[in-house]
Structure 1
Amino acid sequence: MFVDYTEISEDAKVWIYPSNRKFYPAEIPEIEQKIKTFVENWKKEDENFKVSYQFLYNRFIVLITDDENATITNTDIDASVSFILELQETYKVELLDKMNVCFKQGEFVQYKELKDFKKLVKNRAVTAKTIIFDNLITNNHDFKNFWKIPIEESWYNRFL
């Protein structure tokens, strides 16, 4: 059952899918509708299943499932991954690559492959204070509190 994000517990599971490019303004309404339709129908038969989503910076798709009263199965996860793969194909973006780094540069969000990010660190194009997005976050508490943090406070600090 789709619920407002504010109704999701701190322990809810989170999956973050960063796009390798910002979605174009013309794509956004359609993408948001597809996401909403997916979450409204995901495990629709289980009234205890609570799900929400966030679409942030026109780049990040975040699925949040509260499995306190409903179990998330491998089949359910497969359904979400299939949905993300469909979005990748439709919009010609990469959403499943976890070997990338997203960070803020001024008001913009940048997306770099890890090897390119390491070069930026080496060349001091990013600093310990640069805000990084930790897309490996797995629960709602961490998403709210540790998704956007300075590099020096993240696991990326090993590259400094």
Structure 2
Amino acid sequence: MKRVWIYQSNRLLSAEEVEQISQILQEFVVQWTAHGNQLAGSFLIKYNLFVILQVDEGKAMVTGCSIDKSVHLLKKIEERLDVSLFDRMQIAYRRSEDEIVVAGRDRFEQLIAAGEVDRDTIVFNNMVGTAQDFADNWEVPLKDSWHAKVFL
């Protein structure tokens, strides 16, 4: 099984920032271990907004310590780039096929009330935990995501 962790930025990242993050994560995943075992880790940066870490647990299991290492690294990236990657109250959604917007919880509620966001608006379910769930349930209509329980 492949485990996935998604970290969403509070703003779009520049091409230079994506390159910096890519270099940092590339160095990290090649030496990422759990109790001395090399993890089959990888990363992806999507839409200049999402940092996605993945580990194939068929090769070695992730541990709390190895997860802590990745979180510590992402917090360093936050500081270095003056960006937030851990604010779960920032909601990303598609305004159009080509435009992804990030809104705070209060603003997102206002957008729903104004009809600018509705049940069929595509949101990003960053709570997915496996590669299969990521493929099937990451970009979904609001009505099919955890967001519906909170906002509808």
Q: Same fold (TM over 0.5)?
A: yes
Distance in structure 2 (CA, Å) of the matches to 1:69 and 1:52: 13
Q: Does 1:76 align with 2:66?
A: yes
Which amino acid in the other structure matches residue 14 of structure 2? Y
Q: Does 1:108 align with 2:99?
A: yes
Which amino acid in the other structure matches residue 94 of structure 1? S
RMSD of aligned residue pairs (Cα, Å): 1.5
Larger strand percent: 2
**What is the aligned partner in structure 2 of residue 152 from structure 1?**
143
> For this pair of structures, how many residues does the alignment match?
149
| Farther off after superposition, 15-24 or 110-119 | 110-119
For structure 1, the residue ranges without an aligned partner over 5 or more in a row are 1-10
Alignment of 1:52-67 (within 5 A): 52-67=42-57
Distance in structure 2 (CA, Å) of the matches to 1:113 and 1:39: 31
In the TM superposition, structure 1's runs of 4+ consecutive aligned residues that sit over 4 Å from their partners are none
Q: Deviations over 1:92-133 (max 9, x none)?
A: 000011122111111121111222211111111112221100
Distance in structure 2 (CA, Å) of the matches to 1:26 and 1:78: 26
Alignment of 1:83-94 (within 5 A): 83-94=73-84
Alignment of 1:2-21 (within 5 A): 11-21=1-11
Query: What is the CA distance between 1:69 and its match in structure 2?
Result: 3.5
For structure 2, the residue ranges without an aligned partner over 5 or more in a row are none
